[in-house]
Structure 1
C-alpha cells in the first residue's frame, strides 16, 4: 500500500538528507508532471527548511514545434516559485534511436552544468523504475542493466540524485491535483512507436489489471538486483586489485591491466571484472560480442589481437591488456624539422617533445617509424631498431608513435627508452609527453 500523502515531503527530505551540505540542488525541469511536482515540493520545503541553493535547468531539444513554448512555461513556473532557471539549447545528433540521442544531448547539458559539490535532481519515480526493468529485461540485459536506474551516481564534477524512486506516479498526480499545479503534456509521450511509451500505455496497464502490485514488485526486484550488482562490483574490485600492477610503460597514460590474474578466474568472473573496468571507458558490449574478449585472451604470444568496442579498442601486448581511444586510434602526423630545440616541440596529435640537458647540434628532425631503421649504439654498434624495441618489450600500438630524433639520415635517439633516448657522454635526453585523454578529446 502507498504511504499517506502527508509523507511525501518527509520522504523526499529523508532521501536527500545525505546531501543537505551540497552547494546547490539543481532540478532537471522539463515542465512535465514529475519534475513540476519535484520543483514545487523543494520550493515549499525551502520556506521552512535550511536547504542548499535551489535552481532549475530546462534542456530544449528543438525536436518538435510545440516544444518552443516550453521554456516560457518553465520560466513562468520558476518565477512563481522564486527559483532561478537556466535554459540550455542542445543539438540532438541523428541516429538509429531518437530517444537515446535526445537523452545523450540532455545529459551532456547536465554534465556541463553540474559543478563540484553540486547535485542535479531528476524526477524519475517508481513507475519509471518498473518500465526500465521491463524494457531492459526484453532486451536481454544482465544484472547491471536489470538493477534499474540508480538512486544516485556521479555526474560531471558533482552528483545525480533521483529522490522520488520510492514514489508512485499516482502519488505525484494526486499531489499535483491537490496543489493545482500546471504542467506540460509532451505529445511524444503518447507516441507508441517509442518503446517506453508502448510499455507505459499498452503493456503495464494490462499487467496491473491482473497483478495490481506489479509496479511495486518490479521496483522491489530492481532493488534486489541493485544489491546483487553491488556484490558483483565488490568481487570485480577484488579481482582487479590483482591485475592493477605497475608497468614500465605507465608513463603512456593508457589504462591497462595485467592479463594473467584475470585469465586465471572463471569465465564469469573474467567478464564481471573486465565489464567493471570497461564501464568507465566505453559502452559495454552485449553478450553476443564477448567472443572478442576470448579471442584477445587466448591469442598466441606473438599475435597482436584487438577487440573493437563502441568507444575504443582493447589491445594485448606484453602480458597486459590496454585500452586505446581518441588520439591513440588516429595516426600521428608528420613533424619535420625541430627549428628551436631549446623549446618544447608540439607534435600534432601526439603530445610534446623536449630535451633535458643541452640539445645536440642540428639541424634536427623528428620522424616516426616506417620500418628498416637502425641505430649506432656506443657499446653494440649498428643495431636494427625493430630488434631494440623488441628487447625492451615496447607495445605494438606505441611503436608507430614513438618520436625518433634524426640529424640528416642518422637516427640519434628514440624518445623515453632508456639507453636509446639520448647521449650519456654529452648529457642530453629526449623526453616525450604523450597526449592526455583530455588533450585528445579536445
Structure 2
C-alpha cells in the first residue's frame, strides 16, 4: 500500500466493482494501522435494474470483512440532454462530502489506467494544465479529505490481487456501453495504443503528474497576482491592474479568482477569453456581462465583479411591513431587519407610520443627512458607486408613501431622528448586500 492518511475515520467509496473491492479488502488487511474506524459507503444510484442486488452484495461483503456499512440512495432526475454520468458523479461526491467530519478521509479506488484515460479525455476536450493534471492523489473534500491510494497500480495488478485472494465483485454492464466516451476510449482506443506503447498508462499518468506540478506553479503565481490586482472592495479585481499583465496571465488569474469563490463553477476557455476581451480589454463605457454555470462576471468603473447569476424579480412589488419582525424579500433579494440605534429613523415616526418596501421605478428622490437638497436615486447611486445592475434590486423603505430609507446607504429627510431622540436603524442582509460591500459604510454612520 502507498502512503495513507494518519488521522480520522476512513470512508471507502464501495461500489462492489473490482477496484473498490480490492481497495476495501486491502485496507482490512492493515486495519490495525487505521487511526479511526474503517467504513464502507455504497451509493445506490437507482439507474440500473441490478442496483438492488449490487447493494445486497456490498452489504454482505462488508459484513464478511466485519466492516461498518452504509448505503445511500440517490434520486437522480436527469433533464433532457444532460449527461447521466456527470450528474451521477456530481451527486455521488456531494453526498460523500457531506459524510466527512474534520479529519476524516474518503478513499476512492481509481487506478493508473483510469488516470491515463482521464488525461486523454481532458486532452480531447481541449483542457489546459488544470484539466490535464487529471485526478489528484489528495484533495480537500467537504470538511475532510479525498485520497486515491491506487493511482500507482494498473487494473491488471488489481485483477491479479483479486484472483489471488479469491475475491468476488459485481460487473456494471454500463461499463461496456460504448456510447460513454470513457468506455469507448477504454475498450477501443487504449488497447491499440498499448500494442505499440505497452507502458502508455504509466507514462500518461506521469504526464498528468507533471501537469499537476505545473498547475501548482500557475496557482502560486495567480495567488500573487490576485493580491496585486485587488479592486476597491474585497472579492473584486481592478481592471487597470489586470490590464498590465500578459493575456495568458490574466486568464490564469481570472480562473483562480473564480475558483476562490465558494461553490463557483470553473469557467471554460471560451468564457475566460470573453472575460478578458469584454471585461478587461473592452470599451470603458461598455456594460459587459459574461455568464456560465450559474455565475456571472461584470465590470463597473475599475472593478470586475463576480457573483451568482441574478434571478428575475418583480420590479412592481410593494410589500407591507410591520417594522418589527424580519422581512424576507422574494427572489433571493435578501432580508430586512431593524434594531434600536443612536442614529437612524425617528422611532415615533417608524412606529406610527405605514411602512412599505418597494423597488426603484423611476423618479424617487432623497435628501440624506448633510445634503442641502434632494437628489435622484441615480445620482446618489453613482456617488456611492453602486453598479447599475444592482440598483433596481435594492429595497427601498417608504413611510406613509414617502421614501424614508435606502437600507445600507441613507436615511432621508425628514425622517432622520434628531439628537437625543430615540431612533431605529433598518438594515439589509443577503448576497446582494454583501456584493455591494455595505459593511464598508458607503455613507456616514448616521446615514447608513
TM-score by length of 1: 0.88
Question: Which residue in the other structure is 1:375 paired with?
Answer: 366
1:179: Cα distance to partner?
0.5
Q: Secondary structure at the match of 2:163?
A: helix
Bigger mean CA deviation after superposition, 314-323 or 423-432? 423-432
Structure 1 alignment gaps of length 5 or more? 1-8
Question: Which residue in the other structure is 2:157 paired with?
Answer: 171
For 2:30 and 2:163, locate their aligned partners in 1 and report how far apart those are by CA, in whole Å.
18
Question: Structure 1 residues 347 and 376, CA, compared in 2 at 3 Å: closer, same or farther?
Answer: same
Q: Secondary structure at the match of 1:31?
A: coil
Question: Which residue in the other structure is 1:28 paired with?
Answer: 13
Equivalent residues of 1:335, 1:347 under 8 A apart: no
1:77: Cα distance to partner?
0.4
For 2:409 and 2:433, locate their aligned partners in 1 and report how far apart those are by CA, in whole Å.
22
TM-score by length of 2: 0.87
1:70 corresponds, among 43, 54, 75, to: 54
Q: Secondary structure at the match of 2:405?
A: strand
2:93 corresponds, among 99, 107, 119, to: 107
The aligned runs of 1:27-426 (5 Å cut-off) are 27-46=12-31, 48-94=32-78, 95-245=81-231, 247=233, 255-280=235-260, 281-293=263-275, 294-325=277-308, 328-331=310-313, 334-339=317-322, 341-348=323-330, 349-355=332-338, 356-357=340-341, 359=347, 360-361=349-350, 362-377=353-368, 379-418=371-410, 423=416, 425=418, 426=421
Equivalent residues of 1:147, 1:223 under 8 A apart: yes
Question: Structure 1 residues 80 and 437, CA, compared in 2 at 3 Å: closer, same or farther?
Answer: farther
For 2:44 and 2:69, locate their aligned partners in 1 and report how far apart those are by CA, in whole Å.
13
Q: CA RMSD in A?
A: 2.3
For 2:388 and 2:127, locate their aligned partners in 1 and report how far apart those are by CA, in whole Å.
35
Query: Which string of whole-angstrom CA distances, capped at 9 and with x for unpartnered residues, describes residues 151-196 of structure 1?
Result: 1111122111111111111111111111000101111111111111
Size of the alignment, in residue pairs?
414
For 1:25 and 1:436, locate their aligned partners in 2 and report how far apart those are by CA, in whole Å.
39
1:419: Cα distance to partner?
6.3
Q: Secondary structure at the match of 1:381?
A: coil
Q: Secondary structure at the match of 1:65?
A: coil
Equivalent residues of 1:332, 1:401 under 8 A apart: no
Question: Which residue in the other structure is 1:3 paired with?
Answer: none
For 2:102 and 2:240, locate their aligned partners in 1 and report how far apart those are by CA, in whole Å.
38
For 2:144 and 2:400, locate their aligned partners in 1 and report how far apart those are by CA, in whole Å.
53
1:246: Cα distance to partner?
5.2
Query: Which string of whole-angstrom CA distances, capped at 9 and with x for unpartnered residues, describes residues 52-95 of structure 1?
Result: 21001111111111222100000010000111111111122324
For 1:103 and 1:314, locate their aligned partners in 2 and report how far apart those are by CA, in whole Å.
27
Equivalent residues of 2:255, 2:272 under 8 A apart: no
1:318: Cα distance to partner?
3.7
Query: Which string of whole-angstrom CA distances, capped at 9 and with x for unpartnered residues, describes residues 23-68 of structure 1?
Result: x10000000000000000111111x424321001111111111222
Structure 2 alignment gaps of length 5 or more? 435-448
Runs of 4+ in 1 over 4 A off after TM superposition: 418-422, 435-438
1:387: Cα distance to partner?
0.8
For 2:324 and 2:267, locate their aligned partners in 1 and report how far apart those are by CA, in whole Å.
47
Question: Which residue in the other structure is 1:434 paired with?
Answer: 430
For 2:219 and 2:402, locate their aligned partners in 1 and report how far apart those are by CA, in whole Å.
52
Question: Structure 1 residues 353 and 275, CA, compared in 2 at 3 Å: closer, same or farther?
Answer: same
Question: Which residue in the other structure is 1:5 paired with?
Answer: none
Equivalent residues of 2:139, 2:147 under 8 A apart: yes
Equivalent residues of 1:126, 1:166 under 8 A apart: yes
Equivalent residues of 1:375, 1:384 under 8 A apart: yes
1:296: Cα distance to partner?
1.7
Query: Which string of whole-angstrom CA distances, capped at 9 and with x for unpartnered residues, describes residues 245-287 of structure 1?
Result: 552xx6xxxx432332222110000000111121354333333
Equivalent residues of 1:189, 1:197 under 8 A apart: yes
Question: Structure 1 residues 163 and 246, CA, compared in 2 at 3 Å: closer, same or farther?
Answer: farther
